């Protein structure tokens, strides 16, 4: 299907979702690289609990990020709360603690490891700022064995969530590590006062083993925890006034038809994700009967349920659900918000308008809108409920104009073995005459959903440079059913790889892609798939670009610099990728490791890696670069000294994509 996305039917009380209409765009001079990959101008926005104020992060003219608060009744009233003064630090999360107090998280992007987040709280008038958590690990080490009292918590703590009782408290997780790898042993939930810095347990009693995730009820009381132990996914529950926990789920991760807790609504009903037929759906779970409802509360046929809840914390009502099928949409249970959504959509046609309410939704004078489309980067707006007025707050990339972007559409194609594979296609702006050079852009994971219909910087950038961009949701990815996911187990370099070559051939048959000028590119798993695509299908892919890519499957298990946990190495990787102790799997891994077949890669290749990468350590890039350059002179290798697994610094993103543009122009667009 071409054009605007089709929202699949949503089964909930017989309701159906309706798509928005498409808008036209004329091809114009493409924006510069920085317009796509510079730091977002406005990166986040959040309503205060009663809706009187909106907090947002914005880039100041001097290039420094700032946190500001605006009065929702008079947006010209602006208070500057904080500036990100550290050279490589950015505010990554903003959360209202109560109507008068704001919390925010700062991350140092020069540090790859976890725990590297500072937490602050400040009154909305800019006073009473408190440094709650230091993300500096050196600070933590100094506190160990010291009698000095310092109320700023160490990097062993991290922000979990706000409370909803109007107090100055937040919830934080205290993490404990083992002595063998970099993965958490377990966490414990605690309550922290953001003024006095008083810290106390969020509940009484002990807790289950290896807790990784916490779920609290409407009174912010921990009720559900999850853990993963020796390949088993375990869910435990406690009543609000109990001091002990009981298991309500224990099953083999990935293999069994288990359920996963998602959220409590305001009336303390637990909602869980579980399989229904082939797709994951949303179910209610009765904690008194310890039983899941027999039928889904919401299902999205053809897609696994992916969504979040909109809850009124005062009335304790579940107001609606923000969902993803081929694109984002919202189903409102609340009739008032449903009507307001219709008014907003009428005023903002041709975009997906995701509406968020304050915690006290009924009393809030405003609604916050996050609006985007296939050609429009996300922008934030405020809807005044009394007047219907809509006011813009800013866009993540304001230099991008919809008329400069190409259309994006969702399709299915048939792989060589008959499997139906979803895919997103982004065409160059305007009306291209005949087949164009094309890029198969491969998502990472690989056990992840790759994309959605909305504007995406990488695909949009490539399309403005004249390339058809094909993004296959190949088997082994999530979001499209259990069978689609399981079909990719132990298929690195196998049928997962065939899906990518089949996508290129399919795009050529549609008349979009020039079959003689197709590139393959991607990061992480997508980097691995790029290398294997060039090796396995040299007649399909003319050149490739990979970054942060796995170059040898065996290194996933043996690298001493990797952040992979014992759990990942001992169970998850062996199930999903291959077991090196199994002779058949070991042979498959040798056969499908690019490093061992580097001499077969003859096409032009651009590769890049972060020196501080712990997910796919730098030795992957170093070993493959040395091996492939021995027989291929047309290989460029870039190392970014201050990057980890992917690009976190805008100047590196801009430099990298400038290199990509030149590389593709030389080796694909202008190639005979």
**Strand ranges (E), 208-315:** 211-216, 222-229, 232-237, 246-252, 259-264, 270-276, 279-286, 291-292, 307-312
Q: How far apart are CA 106 and CA 57, in angstroms?
A: 12
Residue where the block lists tokens 């998850």: 572
Contact 497, 532 (CB under 8 A): yes
Give me the phi and psi of 106, to 5 degrees please.
-120, 130
Q: Which residues of 186-211 are buried (b: 16+ CB within 10 A; e: fewer)?
A: bbbbbbbbbeebeeeebbeeebbebb
655 burial (CB, 10 Å; 0-12 / 13-18 / 19+) is middle
Q: What is the dihedral of CA 327, 328, 333, 339, to 10 degrees?
A: -100
CA dist 40 and 413 (Å) reads: 34
CB atoms within 10 A of CB 151: 11
C-alpha–C-alpha distance, residues 327 and 350, integer Å: 13
Kindly tell me the sign of the dihedral angle through the C-alpha atoms of 554, 557, 558, 561: positive
Strand ordering across the sheet containing 352-356: 352-356, 366-372, 379-384, 390-395
CA 304 to chain centre: 16
Query: CA 199, 204, 207 angle in degrees (round to 5)?
Result: 105
Q: Which residues contact 104 (CB under 8 A, 6 or more apart)?
A: 67, 81, 82, 91, 93, 94, 95, 119, 120, 121, 122
What 3 state SS string does 456-515 have? Answer: CHHHHHHHHCCCEEEEECCCCCCCCCHHHHHCCCCCCCCHHHHHHHHHHHHHHHCCCEEE
Residues noted as catalytic:
524, 613, 645
Distance CA(582)–CA(585), nearest Å, equals 5
* b/e code 116-145 from CB counts within 10 Å (16+ = b): bbbbbbbbbeeeeebebbbbbeebbeebee
Supply the DSSP symbol for 194: T
Contact criterion met (CB below 8 Å) for 581 and 519: no
Start-to-end Cα distance in the chain: 31
The order of strands in the sheet holding 199-201 is: 157-162, 169-177, 184-193, 199-201
Q: By the 8 A CB rule, do 275 and 281 touch?
A: yes
Give CA–CA dist 496/133, Å, rounded.
Answer: 43
């Amino acid at each position: 299907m071409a054009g605007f996305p089709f929202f699949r039917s949503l089964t909930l009380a017989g309701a159906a979702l309706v798509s928005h209409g498409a808008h036209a765009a004329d091809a114009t001079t493409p924006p510069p690289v920085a317009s796509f990959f510079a730091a977002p101008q406005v990166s986040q926005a959040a309503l205060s609990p009663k809706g009187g104020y909106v907090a947002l992060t914005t880039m100041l003219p001097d290039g420094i990020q700032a946190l500001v608060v605006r009065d929702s009744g008079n947006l010209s009233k602006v208070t500057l709360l904080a500036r990100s003064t550290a050279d490589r630090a950015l505010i990554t999360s903003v959360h209202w603690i109560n109507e008068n107090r704001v919390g925010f998280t700062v991350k140092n992007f020069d540090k790859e490891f976890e725990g590297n987040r500072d937490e602050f709280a400040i009154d909305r008038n800019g006073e009473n700022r408190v440094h709650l958590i230091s993300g500096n690990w050196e600070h933590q080490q100094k506190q160990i064995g010291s009698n000095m009292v310092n109320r700023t918590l160490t990097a062993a703590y991290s922000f979990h969530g706000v409370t909803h009782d109007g107090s100055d408290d937040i919830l934080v997780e205290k993490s404990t590590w083992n002595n063998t790898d970099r993965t958490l042993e377990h966490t414990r939930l605690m309550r922290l006062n953001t003024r006095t810095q008083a810290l106390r347990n969020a509940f009484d009693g002990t807790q289950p083993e290896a807790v990784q995730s916490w779920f609290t009820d409407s009174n912010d009381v921990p009720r559900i925890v999850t853990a993963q132990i020796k390949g088993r996914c375990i869910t435990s529950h406690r009543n609000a006034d109990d001091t002990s926990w009981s298991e309500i789920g224990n099953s083999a991760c990935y293999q069994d038809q288990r359920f996963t807790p998602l959220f409590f609504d305001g009336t303390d009903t637990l909602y869980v994700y579980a399989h229904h037929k082939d797709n994951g759906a949303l179910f209610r779970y009765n904690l008194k009967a310890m039983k899941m409802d027999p039928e889904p509360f919401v299902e999205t046929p053809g897609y696994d349920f992916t969504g979040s809840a909109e809850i009124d914390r005062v009335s304790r009502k579940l107001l609606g659900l923000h969902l993803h099928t081929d694109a984002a949409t919202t189903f409102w249970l609340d009739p008032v918000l449903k009507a307001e959504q219709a008014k907003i959509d009428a005023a903002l046609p041709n975009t997906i308008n995701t509406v968020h309410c304050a915690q006290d939704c009924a009393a809030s004078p405003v609604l916050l809108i996050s609006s985007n489309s296939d050609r429009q980067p996300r922008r934030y707006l405020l809807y005044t409920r009394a007047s219907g007025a809509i006011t813009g707050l800013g866009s993540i990339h304001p230099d991008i104009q919809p008329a400069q972007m190409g259309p994006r559409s969702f399709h299915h194609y048939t792989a060589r073995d008959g499997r139906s594979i979803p895919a997103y296609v982004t065409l160059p702006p305007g009306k291209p005459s005949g087949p164009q050079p094309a890029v198969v852009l491969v998502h990472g994971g690989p056990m992840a959903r790759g994309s959605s219909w909305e504007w995406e910087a990488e695909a949009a950038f490539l399309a403005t440079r004249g390339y058809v961009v094909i993004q296959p949701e190949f088997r082994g990815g999530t979001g499209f059913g259990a069978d689609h996911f399981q079909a990719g187990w132990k298929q690195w370099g196998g049928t997962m790889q065939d899906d990518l070559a089949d996508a290129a051939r399919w795009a050529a048959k549609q008349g979009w892609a020039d079959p003689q000028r197709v590139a393959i590119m991607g990061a992480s798993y997508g980097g691995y798939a790029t290398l294997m695509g060039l090796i396995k299908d040299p007649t399909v892919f003319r050149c490739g670009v990979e970054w942060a890519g796995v170059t040898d499957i065996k290194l996933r298990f043996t690298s001493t610099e990797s952040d992979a946990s014992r759990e990942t190495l001992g169970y998850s990787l062996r199930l999903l990728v291959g077991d090196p102790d199994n002779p058949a799997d070991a042979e498959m891994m040798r056969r499908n490791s690019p490093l061992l077949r580097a001499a077969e890669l003859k096409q032009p290749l651009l590769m890049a890696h972060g020196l501080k990468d712990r997910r796919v350590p730098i030795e992957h890039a170093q070993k493959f670069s040395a091996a492939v350059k021995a027989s291929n002179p047309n290989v460029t290798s870039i190392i970014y000294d201050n990057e980890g697994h992917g690009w976190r610094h805008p100047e590196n993103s801009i430099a990298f994509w400038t290199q990509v543009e030149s590389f593709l122009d030389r080796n694909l667009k202008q190639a005979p």
